[in-house]
Structure 1
Amino acid sequence: MTDFKRIFESIQFASRKLPLLTEEDILLTLRSLREITLDNVNLILKANRLDLAKMDANDPKYDRLLLTEGRIKNICNEITQVESLPSPLNRILESKILENGLALQKISVPLGVLGIIYEARPNVTFDVFSLALKSGNGLVLKGSADAEHSNKAIISLIHQALELHNIPKDAYQLLPVERVATKALLEAVGYVDIIIPRGSQGLIDFVRQNAKVPVIETGAGIVHTYFDETGDLTKGKAIIHNAKTRRPSVCNSLDCLIIHESRTNDLSELLKPIMDSGVRIFADEKSFEKLEGKPAVEKAKDEHFGTEFLSLQMSIKTVTDLDEALYHISEYSSKHSEAIISENQANIDQFLKMVDAAAVYANASTAFTDGNQFGLGAEIGISTQKLHARGPMALNELTSYKWIIKGNGQIR
């Protein structure tokens, strides 16, 4: 039987040494990891094929699980980007001297030990390690059984890079895939400082409802794009196609198109690119009238709204005005990413002000909600809550702060 208490103790003990690392230690380790990874692409792909063989290729998670030589090179590019970013640690956030002569500084510090629970996305193992190391945090990884072989191969490469630079590898550990490991992590009070789930709404709900450790919710995206009465057809076709089909299995992909009723005659043209890409459409009554007879179009049911499809499926909601569009979004949004396509500046301004989401777009694809795209390096997730962090969580979001007070004998 796995002794989880011993594992958590070893991670906590090893992570206490991380604040002593120099920036050079961290940079050299990330550089080594990139080189070791590129030297072992075939090892990673072989392990990944073992995982893929266990999953139905039609499963929405299959694309998330899939690693290719190109994707591994992109992962290495993200490691390079993290390496190049300024350190988030020991930044002076505030500084002042009180009337009594006490000198106060508020400085950024690591959160401590991060617990990451994630589904079939082995790239997360690379991403969160590079961010955790750069931000001085220890790390407990709990991947799913779907990616077991891939994650084991990746953590072995991470440990090689750590050992090369005498950084304690015990500070970065992968738990067994058994469900009992998830329970142990959720209850690791005193050892783990924060838990971040990455995956489906079901996973996030389970973690939130069962964790005794503080949780930051990330990942689930029920994403809308509103095409208003002034929306540009050329822009709209490109934006909707990109948001829906670029990578339909990820959390920033489009789930529901909201369209002003005056533009339903443009639906066939607006949706031609995504229909040509094989997207299945669930249309409400007014939009179905305009699309009836088109392939892969059927009448929407209640459950098609507020659904994160994670596949080539999308619903359509017809509205009479901006207020109705905003109401629909407020009812069904997961507060991840929302967009408007419009040439009316007043409508754009109202939409950007009133939509409550981590990322709100005007005339652009929601596919850009990504830490790398925002210039933050690899991300640890997209936070959809409001406490501590919101939107793409990267280096700065993996720190807290403490007050440093220097005196000369002052008493109160």
Structure 2
Amino acid sequence: MINNYLNTIGLNALKASKDLSLLNEKKKNKVLIDFYKNLKLKKKDILKANISDVSKAKKKGLGKNLIDRLILNDNKINYIIRSIQEVIKLKDPTQKIISKWKRPNGMIISKYTVPIGVIGVIYESRPNVTSDIAILCFKSGNAVILRGGSEAIHTNKVISECFRKSLKKNKINENCVQLINNTNRKLVDYMLSSMDKFIDVIIPRGGKNLVKKVQTTSNVPTIGHLEGLCHVYIDKYADLNMAKKITLNAKMRNTSICGAAETLLIDKACIKTHLNPILQLLSISGCRIIGDKITKKNYIGSNIDLATEKDWKTEYLDSLISVKIVNGVEEAITHINKYGTQHTDTIVTNNKKNASLFLSSVNSAIVLHNASTQFADGNEFGFGAEVGISTTKLHPRGPVGLEQLVTYKYLVKGNGQIRP
């Protein structure tokens, strides 16, 4: 039964992806306009469904960070709508000539962008992801199969139906966007093991266990990141007020996102001036601090727990940060490249040489100078929204938006050439 259900969805997606290739940018944007209008009209239904999902999630004992991601309100729905409007403004990434050249034999070669085809996305908690993925995949010419978490099933159904109604209104194949309504976990196993003939790539968005399962068991190529173990390094040349502001934002603005800082590194040359003001600010803001021996010795606030090797490898996703004192920028880089997850890391410094060394040597998808790690977000990059963050070195890397959801092919035009 599961096989038949998912195979039908897969066949529908293949057909829809071919239909999508015939759409121009104007037609795609019209669908997106109707989609956000539908969301406005169905706002009460979305919130009602979300209340039901949140209530059930709390009864199941889901963690606070998952509940926070699940909750929708007027502001979050308005944010979803603004994301759609931003994507509408962006250029269609398909059918672009990236480069073009002429060979000595007269052949003209063009490198040309095309959609990937069918994208499967397995995700947890955040219902806004349903909208983000649908709009990005659709505008980039890809059909999408959505498999959200059971905790958000009712909210996801309403949002996905809003998109399908906008497709139907514009006489476009509704199966450009399909939501798997069955919450049986065996469906995920089948998607990963037996749908490679339908799905071109699978993108996981969720906790470590989900992402690890997808990356290790999928027969379909995957895009994604396992963890967001992000670092803030305070260099000895850092402006104190800037360092305080960036560290607080990187850790406490939203502790449950993958761009939240988990480890704070401080140059030992500025312990006397920077350590206590920064840690005290974190503490009064509700952040628990775990530090190495030097941090414990120099911190004048309340007692802090001693950090262990495990702390440097832990993504807390909570109001908790590990602090380590390092001997300059090179030791900070070594620590990040050893313990980080190649996600997002930042240096706070007014020294251009140290900043340049950090930016070029830290082996992460996103590296920042004098800015918060919480900017690790497709919307903040000007992508309108994101399907996720990729930490792999192969295409794509970093926030995955429209431009990252296309591949390319070569168009070669001749006039009778044959190879000697």
The one of 374, 385, 390 aligned to 1:378: 385
Structure-2 residue corresponding to 1:90: 95
2:174 corresponds to 1:169: yes
Answering whether residue 133 of structure 2 is matched by residue 128 of structure 1, we say yes
State the match for 2:295 in structure 1: 287
Q: 1:369 aligns with which of 367, 376, 394?
A: 376
Question: Which residue number corresponds to residue 218 of structure 1?
Answer: 225
Structure 2 residue 35 is matched with structure 1 residue 27: no
**Once the 2 structures are TM-superposed, how far is the Cα of residue 99 of structure 1 from its aligned partner?**
3.2
In the other structure, the counterpart of 1:189 is: 196
CA distance in 1, matches of 2:351, 2:106: 56
Aligned to 1:303: 310
Q: Partners in 1 of 2:105 and 2:331 — Cα distance?
A: 57
Of 43, 46, 53, which residue of structure 2 is paired with 1:44? 46
CA-to-partner distance for each residue in 1:5-36, whole Å, 9 max, x for gaps?
12211111222111001212101100000111
Instruction: State the one-letter code of the partner of 1:66.
Output: I
RMSD: 1.5
Mapped contact 1:222–1:336 kept (Cα < 8 A): yes
Distance 2:327 2:16 in 1: 59
Q: Does 376-385 or 169-178 show the bigger shift? A: 169-178
Q: Flag structure 2 segments of 5+ consecutive residues without an equivalent.
A: none
Contact 2:264 2:322 in 1 (8 A): yes
In structure 2, C-alpha distance between the alignment counterparts of 1:218 and 1:32, rounded to whole Å: 32
User: What corresponds to 2:275 in structure 1?
Assistant: 267
The 2-side partners of 1:410 and 1:229 are apart by: 64
Q: Is the 8 A contact 1:195 1:214 kept in 2?
A: yes
Which residue does the alignment assign to 2:342?
Answer: 335
CA contact 1:125–1:155 (8 Å) conserved in 2: yes
Distance (whole Å) between structure 1 residues aligned to residue 209 and residue 390 of structure 2: 16
CA shift for structure 1 position 366: 0.9
Structure 1 partner of 2:83 = 78
TM-score by length of 1: 0.96
Aligned with residue 163 of structure 2, among 148, 158, 166: 158
Deviation by residue 1:32-60 (Cα, 9 ceiling, x = unmatched): 00111011111111111112112347521
CA offsets 1:294-343 (integer angstroms, 9 cap, x no match): 27x32222221121111111110111222221111111111111011112
Residues 219 and 251 of structure 1 are in contact (CA less than 8 Å); yes or no, is this contact kept in structure 2?
no
Note the C-alpha offset of 1:401: 0.7
Deviations 1:250-296 (A, max 9, x none): 0101100001123233322112332122111111111012236527x
Query: Cα deviations across residues 134-155 of structure 1 (Å, max 9, x unaligned)?
Result: 1000101111112111111111
Task: Indicate if the aligned counterparts of 1:287 and 1:318 stay in contact, CA closer than 8 A.
Answer: yes
Quick one: distance in 1 between partners of 2:267 and 2:110?
53
The answer (yes or no) to whether the contact 1:242–1:365 under 8 Å persists in 2 is yes
Aligned equivalent of 1:149: 154
Q: 3-state SS of the aligned residue for 1:382?
A: strand
Match of 1:68 in 2: 73
1:208 aligned to 2:210?
A: no
Separation of aligned partners in 1, 2:354 and 2:99: 38
Offset, 1:170: 1.5
SS at match of 1:16: helix
User: What is the rounded CA distance, in whole Å, between the counterparts of 2:190 and 2:231 in structure 1?
Assistant: 36
Q: 2:257 aligned to 250, 253, 256, which one?
A: 250
In 1: Cα distance, 2:63 partner to 2:244 partner: 26
- Which deviates more, 27-36 or 164-173? 164-173
* 1:344 counterpart residue number: 351
Separation (CA, whole Å) in 1 of partners of 2:150 and 2:162: 19
Between Structure 1 and Structure 2, how many residues are aligned? 411
Aligned residues with identical type, % of pairs: 37
For residue 375 of structure 1, what is the amino acid of its counterpart? G
Q: In the alignment, which of 166, 178, 194 is matched to residue 184 of structure 2? A: 178
SS at match of 2:197: coil
CA contact 1:384–1:390 (8 Å) conserved in 2:
yes
Equivalent-residue separation in structure 1 for 2:37 and 2:227 (angstroms): 33
Shift of 1:190: 1.4
Contact 2:124 2:206 in 1 (8 A): yes
2:21 is paired with a residue whose SS is: helix
CA contact (8 A) 1:199 1:220 kept: no
Q: Which of 10, 13, 30 is the equivalent residue of 2:12? A: 10
